[in-house]
Every structure is written in structure tokens, then in C-alpha cells.
Amino acid sequence: MHAVGVDLGGTKVQGVVVDQDGGRVGEARGRTPADGGPAAVVAEIATVVKAAAKDAKVSARKLAGVGIGSPGLVDAATGQVSGAANLPGFDEPVPLGSLVADALGAEVRVGNDVSVATVAEHRLGAGRGFEDLLVVFAGSGVGGGLVLGGRLWPGTHGAAGEIGHMVVVEGGELCPCGRRGCMEAYAGRNALERLARAAAAAGRPTELLAIQERQRRPRMTSGVFKTALDAGDPLAHELIGRAVQALAAAIASAVNLVDVEAVLIGGGLGDKLGEPFVRRIETAMIPHLFVRPSPLRVMPGALGDYAGAMGAALLVAGRA
């Protein structure tokens, strides 16, 4: 039997079809609606699921089920999502699971997007073989997941792994969460864009805005930053340097607390900037680590952009 996993993000809806062995046999991608509320989001999910099933040459009616990795607070038992500020109309609780089930006539399971991506890297990606693992996703924000004793560790309130909100600079930059000095305020792509625009407005020379315009991107994507870095843009190098230092301090502090075997770094920035970015973070972590020399493994994630959707597919088989 085939299952579909859907990675629901603030800008994209990505679906993959996997077979019984976990192999990817079909996929589709759409854009997350900016308005229209939950109904528009559900309609886009249904469209992507059907397109992915068609790509896999599988009837949507014969799917074993659909798994969804969603931002926000997720009640896995009911499929309810709340507090997903980057989805239209999801500030209040939305019964996403039942709405998508009604739209598709299929069994639907919903999990937190970062949690399911963490499980995917642990079961299918670079985290295979590790019992204690920290996975960090550096994208528009910075999220993380913990695997301890071979199992996802959600924490008492489901908030374990919120590494982006570890304070790295007391009284520092304002974070989207409303607090100051969080690592995400220095390493999240949205924060990097805000800082870049402020610097450009103050007269700092940079090609970041021009590259964004040439690439026809509505935001400064990870690809925009990579292009600027490759071109030697001084501001891009400065901002990514600050991000590296913030990530290193927060990750090292987390490692000191839970003593994991390995750290994986993914997300948009991790995937686009690749091995050199990960090695810079690893090097910057050294002064902050309690155990030295450290046996810690620091590696890029292996599943790239597919981690969220692959992890969501695992929900269908009860493996996530």
C-alpha cells in the first residue's frame, strides 16, 4: 500500500507518495494560500495529494492514508492545529485532520512539522544508527527535534527541541516570538532578511536585494543568500557569520545539557549552504563544548527538502 506525506509550510505545500518500503515514488508541490483561511489551505492540500498520487500512478482512493506535518501546536489524537501564525486562519484551533479527511475520503494523521522531519532523518536519513540525536532545521526560523533513547522526545508540553528560542544574547535582537536575544533572531532567514534590509536602507552596499529581484523571489530565500555568498557580498558574509556563531552557541549548549551522539543540521540554509556551513558551525561550537575533545558527530541532514514530507508519510504507518 502507498501513503502520502504532506509538508505544510508557510510558503509551500509539498507532497510525496511512498511505497511500503519507504521509497519515494511520486511527488507534487503547491503554494500555501496567503488568504482564504483554512478552507483554502485544505483545498491546496487536497490538490497536492491528488497530483502526487497521479505522479505515482496510484489512485488517490487506494492510498493507505495521508500524513501531514504542520507548523503550530498539534494535537495528534484529534488532528487539531492551533497557533500556526504563518497559515491563514490558523491562529485559532483548526480541525485540520478531519477537514482533509472529508476532502479526500482518506484516513489522515497530523503531526508537528519539525517533529516528523526529525523522525524522518532518524529513521531514513543521516541519523540512522544513533540513539541520541539533535536535529536542527535552520530555515525561515530555526526549529529542532530531539531523539533520546531511540525515540522522539516531545517534552512535557510538546515543546522539546525549541532550540531557536534559546537566548544567545541577553537583551539582544527582537525575535518573532516577542522576546529578545533568541538564536532565531540571529540565524532565522526572516531575521537575516530584516537585518539585510535595514543595513541596505542605512547605506550598506549589498547585492542581496538585487539578487532577490533577479531571481523573482518574494523573500530572501536561502538560494538568494547562497548566490550572494558565492559572489563575495560583504553583508551576506557578515550576516551568515553571525548566524553561524548564534547556531554554534545554542547547539553547543544543548549538547552540554543532553549529551547526544550526533547533531544534524538541515532546513533551507543547511541544505543550500551545505557542508561548508555545517563545518563552520562545528568549528564555532568547540569553545562552548564541555566535553573536549568531543566525540560528537556534526553532519548535514540527508533528506534535504523531503524530510518533512517523508516524516509525515511515516505517520500513516504509525512509525513517526
Tell whether omega for the bond before 95 is within 30 degrees of 0, i.e. cis: no
Please state the domain extents for the chain. 3-117+307-316, 130-301
For 113-147, how does the pLDDT look when each residue is reduced to its tens digit (9 = 90+)? 999 999 999 999 999 999 999 999 998 889 999 99
How far apart CA 199 and CA 42 sit, in angstroms, is: 39
CATH architecture of 3-117+307-316: 2-Layer Sandwich (3.30)
| C-alpha dist (Å) from residue 61 to 1, 29, 110, 300 | 11, 19, 19, 37
Q: For 33, how many CA atoms within 13 A lie in the half-sphere containing its CB?
A: 17
Which residues have C-beta within 8 Å of that of residue 185, sequence separation ≥ 6? 172, 173, 174, 175, 176, 191
Element (H, E) at 185: helix 184-187
In a 3-state reduction of DSSP, which class is residue 80? Answer: strand
Amino acid at 229: L
Phi, psi of 72 (to 5 degrees): 90, -170
For 20-30, how does the pLDDT look when each residue is reduced to its tens digit (9 = 90+)? 877 889 999 99
| C-alpha dist (Å) from residue 90 to 68, 73, 79, 96 | 15, 10, 13, 10
Query: Taking 70 as the threshold, does the pLDDT of residue 75 lie above it?
Result: yes
- pLDDT interval class at 166 (50, 70, 90): very high
Looking at domain 130-301, which of 3.40.50.920, 3.40.50.1820, 3.40.50.300, 3.30.420.40 is its CATH number?
3.30.420.40
Query: Taking 90 as the threshold, does the pLDDT of residue 218 lie above it?
Result: no
Q: How are beta strands 24-31 and 108-112 bridged, if at all?
A: unpaired
Q: For 73, how many CA atoms within 13 A lie in the half-sphere containing its CB?
A: 8
pTM passes above 0.75:
yes
Instruction: Enumerate the β-bridge partners of residue 152.
Output: 147
Q: Please state, for a pLDDT cut of 70, what percent of the chain lies above it.
A: 99
